[in-house]
Homo-oligomer: A and B are copies of this chain.
Amino acid sequence: MKEQFKNQIIIDGLQYCNWNREIFEDLWRGGLTAVHATLVYWENTEESFKKIDKWNDLFIQHKDIICHAQKTQNIIEAKKNNKVAIIFGFQNSAPIANDIFLLEKFFSKGLRFMQLTYNNQTPLAGGCFEPNDSGVSRFGHAVIEEMNRLGMIVDLSHAGKKTCLDAISLSSKPVAISHANPQFFHKSIRSIDEEVLKNLAKKDGFIGLSLYPLHLKNHGDCTLEDFCSMINQLVDMIGIEHVGIGSDLCKNWPDEIVMWMRNGKWTKKKDYGESTNKDTSWPKQPAWFEKGSDIINIFNGLLKSGMNENDAFKILGSNWLEFMKEHF
């Protein structure tokens, strides 16, 4: 484990990897305490339950270095036991279809984050790529109440602006945008504008900052200095306690998965999402964030930017832990 992280909680608030021993070992050696792992995007109910079964196999196969977190206490225990805790999340509401009773079934198997939408409209709300964002629907309202009751985090990544504002206002518990960047750093459909950021913070919400190249200023050529300067600017705008990392790191996937993420099964034509050049391969990560353990570079970058060590550790994980304590 990285010496600097020895006594610290380090959390990556979103990764989507094709998990294997090599990836788990990198996180483990890198000193990560917990990772929120995406299970599905477009998958239906049955397919999503199968993903959980697959994870339960992984927990057995790699029990020396990973474990399943269903409570924040499990994250603290993982730290003590020198393991990486995995928190389950869905990047869409497709698995629950139109059935509110499925939420508790997924919750009982460990689901702790669910996005209302993934780019497109769902029965719950409007996605960020929709020309007309519905906001939170009748079913969406009922689902948010149920998630609040269960202790499942409402994740607004990939939602439209009206949906974000509605959900922030409707939810009785603070909501998260697990992986996105502010519009002031990089203008894109997926980035979050000032109004949403300020409303989010006012209601004790949380944003995890993304390292996905299409969310970065200058994409894969983004400098660590620019990224850390954005963090400082955001901290000044909404307060440090609302900010963490949600790297959106995608490892070990073939290029076809890029088009799966964008197209799912919803269109017979090709949709290129945020790619302006119709590229269908994985975008190049910045050299200072190519794997989960590279989170140490962000820590060092923050120190170099003038942030004190205590605050840098807040960004790297303890803020996420405090936020999660409100829920589970």
Binding site for B on A (CB under 8 A): 42, 44-45, 94, 97-101, 120-124, 126, 129-135, 137-140, 142, 146, 264-269
Residues of B within 8 A of A126 (CB): 134
Q: Are B264 and A98 in contact (CB under 8 A)?
A: yes
Which of B137, B138, B268 is close to A100, meaning CB atoms less than 8 Å apart? B268
Residue of B nearest to A117 (CB): B123
Known A-B contacts A42-B98, A94-B97; the reply to A130 vs B121 at CB < 8 A is no
Could you write out 6 A-B pairs with CB less than 8 Å apart? A98-B264, A98-B265, A100-B265, A121-B134, A133-B134, A146-B268
Residues of B within 8 A of A134 (CB): 121, 126, 130, 132-134
Q: Are A44 and B97 in contact (CB under 8 A)?
A: yes
Which of B45, B131, B137, B269 is close to A121, meaning CB atoms less than 8 Å apart? B137
Compute how far the CA of A94 lies from the CA of B97 in the bound complex, rounded to whole angstroms: 8
- If A130-B137, A139-B266 are given as contacts, then 12 extra A-B residue pairs at C-beta distance below 8 Å, sorted by A number, are A44-B45, A44-B97, A94-B97, A99-B265, A120-B139, A121-B124, A123-B123, A129-B138, A132-B134, A138-B266, A142-B268, A146-B268
Residues of B within 8 A of A146 (CB): 268
Compute how far the CA of A94 lies from the CA of B99 in the bound complex, rounded to whole angstroms: 10
Known A-B contacts A97-B97, A146-B268, A266-B100; the reply to A138 vs B121 at CB < 8 A is yes
Residues of B within 8 A of A139 (CB): 120-121, 266-267
Residues of B within 8 A of A268 (CB): 100-101, 142, 146
Q: Are B129 and A132 in contact (CB under 8 A)?
A: no
Q: Are B123 and A121 in contact (CB under 8 A)?
A: yes
Residues of B within 8 A of A122 (CB): 98, 123
Compute how far the CA of A265 lies from the CA of B99 in the bound complex, rounded to whole angstroms: 5
Residue of B nearest to A269 (CB): B142
Q: Are A265 and B101 in contact (CB under 8 A)?
A: yes
Q: Are B267 and A100 in contact (CB under 8 A)?
A: yes
Which of B100, B142, B266 is close to A142, meaning CB atoms less than 8 Å apart? B266
CB A110 to nearest CB in B, in angstroms, measures 22
CB A94 to nearest CB in B, in angstroms, measures 6
User: Which 10 A-B pairs have CB atoms at the shortest separation, nearest pair first?
Assistant: A134-B134, A121-B137, A99-B265, A139-B266, A142-B267, A98-B266, A132-B135, A132-B134, A121-B123, A120-B138
Residue of B nearest to A145 (CB): B268
Residues of B within 8 A of A129 (CB): 138
Residues of B within 8 A of A131 (CB): 138
Compute how far the CA of A131 lies from the CA of B139 in the bound complex, rounded to whole angstroms: 12
